[in-house]
Structure 1
Amino acid sequence: MPPSTLVLPRATSRGSSVAGKAYWGMVGRVALTAATIDAAYIVLFLLLGSVPLAAINLISIAMYLSAYALIRRRRNMLGVTLIWVEVVAHSALGSLMIGWESGFHYYLLLFIPAIVIANTKGYAMPMVLGLLVYYLGLKSLCEYLGPLAPLPPRRVEIVNAIHVCLIFGMFAALASFYRRTILVAEARLLKQATLDPLTGLSNRGHFQTLASNELARCQRSGAPVALMLCDVDHFKQVNDHCGHAAGDRALVHVAQILSANLRECDVLARWGGEEFLALLPDSSLLAAHAAAERIRAAIEAHPLIIDGTPIAITLSFGVAQLQGGHDLQDATARADKALYESKRAGRNRVSLG
């Protein structure tokens, strides 16, 4: 019974996505783990002298193995429902048989975060209230009937202590699961907000943020800053003759060579379309010109290979020095004008702005 509550929060997950398949794989492992723990419970309750509870755990093992088989067959909702039924029924039977003090009811409390977190249709409050009514009703019934198959008080204390330890561990595991889920979601959102999905480079907005930080640093130190703007030559022809997939591969190819030939401190971004922009802190205009020439030669020397056929790719560059006020917009305009001069002069060259 114990580990099964960890599968409750995502009962609506879809198995069709990669994440969904991974999740349901985890649910299946949890079901097997729960079955293993229930097998250990059989030994425990036999040692404590409670044959009926040992028998209940046999049924629980069968339910968990059935849930595992259902999930393996992608009958996910039915499998999870079976797990829910096992937890609710097992908690009630254990509490009724050896008393409320045994702590079987603790497992019902794990439904609360499960219901609240998983709920997407506004049913959380009614479900939690329903759970509360069930919980209090079970408590009243246990007090009214008394233990149906009582154990000596000392043995009940042992069962309670085991349940307390398991509940602490399960709440910690549940919190850890959701912490990891939140961190992964935050990382995914940050990536979507800051990176170009095709090339993996910074997008325009993230570039401006990073560039502002670097410009502030260079302004304090008085270090020179240069800007490098480049554009893939005849990119439309690559798309028209080789297809848009080839065009995408060309952009990735260019991005990789740019990254490999720039310093770690340089700020590189896909500026838009087939244009790339790099901020070069601590670089004079001559140093930036040399870096652009090096990259231009590297691009020219490494054609894109598609289906065994080399496709020549070249870049045109515009390089500008940021002035004393570090006006990024002005420098970008001058680099763009220099890039236009490179295009007009025949492409595959570097011009200064």
Structure 2
Amino acid sequence: MKTASAAAGQSSKAAPPHQVGGSAIAKNSWVLLARIVIVAGLDDLLFVPFFLAEHSVTQAAMNLFSAGLYAVIHRLLKHRRNRLAVALIWAEVFGHATIGTLLSGWNSGYFFYLLMFVPTIAISMPRRRAIILIAWLWAYFIALMILAATLHPLAPIGHAALVFLQAYNATVLIGMVTYFTLMYRRLAIAAEQKLQRLATTDPLTGLLNRRSTIEMAARSIAAAERGSADLSFILVDIDHFKLINDRFGHKAGDGILTTVAAELSELIRGEDILARWGGEEFLVVLPDTPIEGAAELATRFQERLTAFKPQIGDIHVSISLTMGISTLAPGESFDAAVARADQALYRGKDQGRNRIILDTGNTGSPQDKVTAA
């Protein structure tokens, strides 16, 4: 006859939505609690005729009072008075479980609602406080059990009604514990996935970060060595990016970075690796691609970004790229191959930017392709 106790335990340590910056989980927990409060109130209200049919006016009145109290709690949640609302839920559940047990006896199953607090206390509170509260809850539970065994039910109901009430309360306990366990598991998985994304991606552009790129590139290098395939690298740098930051501000600069990242992402293949390498630099790893194929892709990069002129305020900003390209030589390390692409990139900058420079390694001298600004 209660569905709010587990939710109250889960939410009692959560900060209100306005105190948790960008936390959708915290906000959703309070929305969920408000919905459960409505269900709990309706549940109590629907049991009023049941107890009246069993001639238990006291329990009918208790359920009517609980339904009204849940209406008050819902209003408190609506007005963000969350702490008081949770305190009233705890008081209602403990009071209802205690009084219901004394009125109908231990076999009514009202004590099940006290057990709902155990997993939620353990999940939502610091260890020391959780242990203290669970110990207190255990003591209260044992005392209530002894008291119920000592006293006769104060307002007994029929045997069939008692069996139904016990089965219903047990069903609610199992259902709610299962629901909140699954919800906690889902949130834990989502949090783990978020941490994984934060560990492997650049938060601004959403591209792979340097660490995860090195790990993925190692697998690409191993595959290339096994299959004697070409593996090429394009190091991309946005020309005059510092001037964009100085003139329009870092927020505009961040917008340019995300724009370039999105445009580059549209031109690569599914097996290619695109990463933010640092600052205004991007690295593209191209499995099974010779240096000529990498140069063709770099040309498409340059054409796309030259044609795309993002607007900052009333000004359309021209973007050009300088790129250095290398291909993995036999026995060469990832760092060495990228370093050659980096050296080619800086030769392009020294020659006036807006250039694609190919470093052919041991196969010949560096080549360059100039794209008109």
TM-score past 0.5 threshold: yes
Identical residues among aligned pairs (%): 37
Correspondence for 2:122: 116
Aligned length: 353
Unpaired runs of 5+ in structure 2?
A: 360-373
SS at match of 1:180: helix
Checking the alignment, whether the CA contact within 8 Å between 2:6 and 2:117 is kept in structure 1 is no
Where in structure 2 are the equivalents of 1:229-268 lying within 5 Å? 229-268=235-274
SS at match of 1:46: helix
Give deviations 1:245-277, integer Å, cap 9, x for gaps: 111111011101110111111111100100000
Checking the alignment, whether the CA contact within 8 Å between 2:310 and 2:317 is kept in structure 1 is yes
CA shift for structure 1 position 55:
1.3
Change (3 A) 1:103 1:298: same
C-alpha distance in 2, partners of 1:31/1:74? 14
Correspondence for 2:319: 313
SS at match of 2:47: helix
Question: TM-score w.r.t. structure 1 length?
Answer: 0.96
Checking the alignment, whether the CA contact within 8 Å between 1:219 and 1:326 is kept in structure 2 is no
Where in structure 2 are the equivalents of 1:73-92 lying within 5 Å? 73-92=79-98
Where in structure 2 are the equivalents of 1:6-45 lying within 5 Å? 6-7=6-7, 8-15=9-16, 16=18, 17=20, 18=22, 19=24, 20-45=26-51
SS at match of 2:50: helix
C-alpha distance in 2, partners of 1:216/1:72? 58
SS at match of 2:354: coil
Q: Which moved more, 1:189-198 or 1:41-50?
A: 41-50
C-alpha distance in 2, partners of 1:182/1:2? 26
C-alpha distance in 2, partners of 1:248/1:118? 37
Give deviations 1:130-174, integer Å, cap 9, x for gaps: 111100100111111111111122221111111111111111111
Correspondence for 2:186: 180
Change (3 A) 1:171 1:121: closer
Correspondence for 1:59: 65
Q: Which moved more, 1:74-83 or 1:38-47?
A: 38-47
Correspondence for 1:197: 203
C-alpha distance in 2, partners of 1:149/1:12? 37
Checking the alignment, whether the CA contact within 8 Å between 2:11 and 2:30 is kept in structure 1 is no
Correspondence for 2:364: none
Give deviations 1:186-238, integer Å, cap 9, x for gaps: 12211211111111101111111222222223332222110110111001100
Q: Which moved more, 1:40-49 or 1:116-125?
A: 40-49
Correspondence for 1:2: 2
SS at match of 1:123: helix
Checking the alignment, whether the CA contact within 8 Å between 1:195 and 1:203 is kept in structure 2 is yes
- Matched to 1:3, the amino acid is T
Unpaired runs of 5+ in structure 1?
A: none
C-alpha distance in 2, partners of 1:265/1:241? 37
CA shift for structure 1 position 22:
2.7
Indicate yes or no: 2:294 matched with 1:293: no
Question: TM-score w.r.t. structure 2 length?
Answer: 0.91
Give deviations 1:107-148, integer Å, cap 9, x for gaps: 111111111112126211121111111001001111111111
